[in-house]
Structure 1
Amino acid sequence: MNPVVWFEIYVADLARARTFYEKLLKITLEPMEQTEGDWPEMWLFPGEEQGQGACGALVKMDGVGPGPGGTLVYLHCDDCAEPAGRAASLGGSLIRDKFAIGPYGFIALISDSEGNMIGLHSMT
């Protein structure tokens, strides 16, 4: 079983970050239903509870800001070079272009629109 079950990417501007990830990965994020209590606004990445990998969300939470130097999340891609090439035009930046990691495929590193470093992973 994959030990990662959930991730949160903290953002300063939720609309800007949502647009960045939807266009970067060519996906649609969905709003999380608000529950009772003081929950932050979240936009969910597509996923299935019983599917492969982890589910997660973009989160705007008072007192928790985005930025480099924290946890690094890797997002699946068919070819990580493609979204890496789109990052700068979407308000992010390319940190390291696609490179091989032996039998584990390829990765690229980008900065998102909020300054978070994000990993992109593909097998080709």
Structure 2
Amino acid sequence: MHTKINWFEIPSTDFGRAIRFYETLFDTTLRREKPDSDSLDMALFSDTGGIPCGCVTHGEGYSPSSSGTLIYLDASPSIDAVLARIEPAGGEIRLQKMELPNDIGYIAHFIDTEGNLLALHSQH
């Protein structure tokens, strides 16, 4: 069986701050959506084809965490460019860029403005 990430949700306590952080980090604009539920806000990430693949969420039952499952976000074409934007955007680098063996690429870990632990991956 083969698999890939189909969808991810990054919880926030301050929705606007979290959106600004990720828009700055990835030099992009997230698309805000409001599902039928009045208790949930979403700001969508898109893949290279423009298809939504995950979001920043805000609502009841969504709590930021620095423990649990670790999601690696694509930092292509260069992890260095994304890492350089983390601290100015209000985040904290937890694991500096590290090369993986066998040409798997590079990774780094960071804490976002909401207290979530996330990671980056890039081939370069």
Task: Tell me which interval the TM-score lies in, with the shorter structure as reference length.
Answer: 0.7 to 0.9
Q: 1:83 offset after TM fit, Å?
A: 1.3
Structure 2 gap segments, 5+ residues each: none
Report the counterpart of residue 87 of structure 1 in structure 2. 86
Report the counterpart of residue 109 of structure 1 in structure 2. 109
TM-score after normalising by structure 2: 0.86
Secondary structure, aligned partner of 2:28: coil
What is the CA–CA distance in structure 2 between the aligned matches of 1:48 and 1:87, rounded to whole Å?
A: 21
| Gap change, CA 1:35 and 1:19, over 3 Å in 2 | closer
What is the CA–CA distance in structure 1 between the aligned matches of 2:24 and 2:4, rounded to whole Å?
A: 28
AA of the residue aligned to 1:31: R
| Gap change, CA 1:63 and 1:83, over 3 Å in 2 | same
AA of the residue aligned to 1:118: L
Report the counterpart of residue 96 of structure 1 in structure 2. 95
- Moved beyond 6 Å, runs of 4+: 48-51
Deviations 1:10-43 (A, max 9, x none): 01011000000000111110012x3434551000
Q: How does 1:1-124 map to 2 (within 5 A)?
A: 2-32=3-33, 34-38=34-38, 40-47=40-47, 55-77=53-75, 78-102=77-101, 103-124=103-124
RMSD (CA atoms): 2.1
Percent identical residues: 33
Structure 1 gap segments, 5+ residues each: none
Secondary structure, aligned partner of 1:91: coil
Secondary structure, aligned partner of 2:36: coil
TM-score after normalising by structure 1: 0.86
AA of the residue aligned to 1:107: I
| Gap change, CA 1:85 and 1:41, over 3 Å in 2 | same
Q: Is the 8 A contact 1:74 1:121 kept in 2?
A: yes
What is the CA–CA distance in structure 1 between the aligned matches of 2:88 and 2:94, rounded to whole Å?
A: 14
Q: Is the 8 A contact 1:72 1:118 kept in 2?
A: yes
Q: 1:109 offset after TM fit, Å?
A: 0.8
Secondary structure, aligned partner of 1:90: coil
